[in-house]
Structure 1
């Protein structure tokens, strides 16, 4: 007598929502917890007169701050290795010099459009004349930018671009200058091209190290949905809606400019070049969403490079050069729209009349001064650079600092979108864009499925690897 055992019922694994959905859930939860933390009020006032945040605000600050600290920890190695490897890869690209110059030209061209939109909105909306912010909030920032700082920053103090500062308690804090790291990396990359065959062992080490750093950064990136809760929650708990109310017109002008660039200028450029707008944004969405949360173009760089190549069809040999360069110098949000509207706001607030030459100076600073923000990261540096060039009072920066984290989310998202857009447009115009990859259906994950990558036809330029891309179709 034989008996047949029933086939085991396959267990269904719980499928996590896509990364984009997780980030959106984090945004909602962050706002809710931020409002709860703000309603709880502070725990008290310390002996020095400082407000002691409650436990929920402190927790949100710690969660968000830890994520940002982890991102910053890998930035120096990431920038150096990515730039060196990408420059070395350009030797395998036909017409590399032409690609480099066209990339820089597109960076400048789109920045010119963005700053023009910012100036127009500033003049039309008059944010400095329509604000209830108190003049008592005016104060000079702790750090500022100038052309002299920019020029001095070009000279590396050491090969790692590290700087040390001593505290009052005898402690020593280390920081890094991205601009100096960029200069050193470009010099080393060009040197490897000149050395030739003898530099191959060095490049093997660089590419291996880049792969390790990208893997470590990938683990950090997976924490982004949780970090979203902390970053946004802390912003809401700390600033609430009071500052937004007094600077409502200014905030609206900034986001109107960002949306015009993101949803009008970029789509028009895509359509003019015969590319699908939907395919671009669906392909670039993982990088855009991470940029919105992390507020770091450099921290988002590996994801930007991954989606640019694997979702948008830009050859790796070119994208590995254009994206790292853009992450440090291509900032339509931070270096074009924001300083243009902010400078007009400060001028209107303090009753300073700007001449036509002043508006032209804003354009010049925005188009060619983006690199200055790489030396000391943050849009505040670009704003102080613009104000000092125009001779406007730097105290105006203090008026805007209260809502800077809220604005920085949108600014960084636009920055990263432009950093993915320009390589795509240049690749399309040069005839090296893989249209099969660009037009392929999206899987809904971080990048397209690995199976598609295996069937991908050879590109017209060499796709020398600079290390593995971020995991395909990854889920948290």
Structure 2
């Protein structure tokens, strides 16, 4: 029964994606070039775009995303406190953080280097010969010193309200360390946060029931307004980015996992399936964070003391997918505008994108903001972003799937290196299936039984 329900939920999400795409294509046939379709009635006319695209689909899709985003700050805060206060040895916490951050930065540097190499090899922007007519103001990438300064909150409640995840993480770590060092009082507070964690994860489970409907509405709206001409003109760019993303997710992560842990990469990739689908449909590492955390702990076998630290950290600083897009886009825009970049320029792009990824929020579309910063560092016209923005949403979905795969891989490597990893759970194909065994009637029974 458990397997049936698990397959049912997975099938529902995939069905929602497929139905949303087909619905969007059908609506685009009715309303080409973002036009409208009017349904005449006796007393008034109904706008199909206002009713469906800007109405029903927009409302349901955004409510679904908002519901998931609602959980991000409390989940990260509570999970990090639970994980940190369970580590009585504070030196161990520093060791875990050092391993995780090092791995995240290394994989990001590998990602953008490979992407730029592939783009230079294929040259997706050659022959376009465009000239920049408009000067766009771009934000400068923050210095490394500024990144570290901004990590520490002057007002933690402001960090919560603004969703500044780096500051939330720092405050949660400090608060968790204080709990671990506070004796009996700390144990009572730690017990409270453990209960809060259980309640939040139950809320995550409930919201997962809404995933197929939210995914349907998001993709239906997306594919309704996606112009076929954009795909035709940017097909090579799209395929280069997509190919680099797939290779990084399947080959780079698999090689690192095999070399550092000896585990079977195929098992890892199979168990990431549902999380990847969810990440692809939401295009948000933060929105997928609860699902990633469940997968890493329940299906992969990483102890919560490690996963509750590495997964939220990865959702904040691990932006391999975004780095790949930035690498290919930089080369593409340089070729389109006939700008020759030197080796030092390419090295600057790698360094800037890697360090800037530390402060990148895991929300849809943020990669374009970071790309403007990267382009500004090497003197490329920021207006070039307009060339790729049409296909960026679909690529955004793909690179989010890559990001959460990297978060999970690093969590396994760190967990195994710290002996906080259950290999029998990792090798058990049925491990964690009960996470998706969701039934509202069962919830009501459980609540009445308690």
Q: Which TM class, normalised by the smaller chain length?
A: 0.7 to 0.9
How many residues are paired up?
421
Structure 1 partner of 2:386: 398
Contact 1:72 1:299 (C-alpha < 8 Å) held by counterparts: yes
Query: Mean Cα displacement is larger for which, 175-184 or 249-258?
Result: 175-184
- 1:147 is paired with a residue whose SS is coil
Structure 1 residue 261 displacement after superposition: 0.6
Structure 2 partner of 1:67: 64
- 1:121-160 matches, within 5 Å, as 121-129=118-126, 140=136, 146-147=141-142, 150=147, 153-154=150-151, 156=153, 158-160=155-157
Structure 1 partner of 2:242: 255
Structure 1 partner of 2:79: 82
Q: Distance in 2 between matches of 1:213 and 1:296?
A: 19
Structure 2 partner of 1:168: none
Structure 1 residue 175 displacement after superposition: 4.7
Query: Mean Cα displacement is larger for which, 198-207 or 114-123?
Result: 198-207
TM-score after normalising by structure 2: 0.84
Say which of 52, 55, 62 aligns to 1:56.
52
Contact 1:76 1:181 (C-alpha < 8 Å) held by counterparts: yes
Contact 2:306 2:414 (C-alpha < 8 Å) held by counterparts: no
Structure 1 residue 254 displacement after superposition: 1.0
- 1:7-46 matches, within 5 Å, as 17-41=7-31, 42-43=35-36
Structure 1 residue 92 displacement after superposition: 6.2
Contact 1:75 1:299 (C-alpha < 8 Å) held by counterparts: yes
Gaps in structure 2 of 5+ consecutive residues:
39-46, 441-450
Structure 1 partner of 2:251: 264
Deviation digits for residues 152-185 of structure 1 (CA, Å, limit 9, x no counterpart): 743536323359xxxxxxxxxx753333323332
Structure 2 partner of 1:177: 164
Structure 2 partner of 1:119: 116
Contact 1:128 1:250 (C-alpha < 8 Å) held by counterparts: yes
Say which of 412, 426, 435 aligns to 2:400.
412
Q: Distance in 1 between matches of 2:209 and 2:131?
A: 41
Q: Distance in 1 between matches of 2:417 and 2:151?
A: 32
Q: Distance in 2 between matches of 1:32 and 1:74?
A: 30
- 1:23 is paired with a residue whose SS is helix
Q: Distance in 1 between matches of 2:173 and 2:316?
A: 13
Structure 2 partner of 1:453: none
Structure 1 residue 280 displacement after superposition: 0.7
Q: CA RMSD in A?
A: 3.1
- 1:43 is paired with a residue whose SS is coil
Q: Distance in 2 between matches of 1:328 and 1:370?
A: 8
Contact 1:254 1:341 (C-alpha < 8 Å) held by counterparts: yes
Structure 1 residue 375 displacement after superposition: 8.8
Structure 1 residue 373 displacement after superposition: 0.4
Deviation digits for residues 124-179 of structure 1 (CA, Å, limit 9, x no counterpart): 1222326699978x8859x956316856743536323359xxxxxxxxxx753333
Answer yes or no: is 1:242 the counterpart of 2:264.
no
Answer yes or no: is 1:373 the counterpart of 2:360.
yes
Query: Mean Cα displacement is larger for which, 26-35 or 120-129?
Result: 120-129
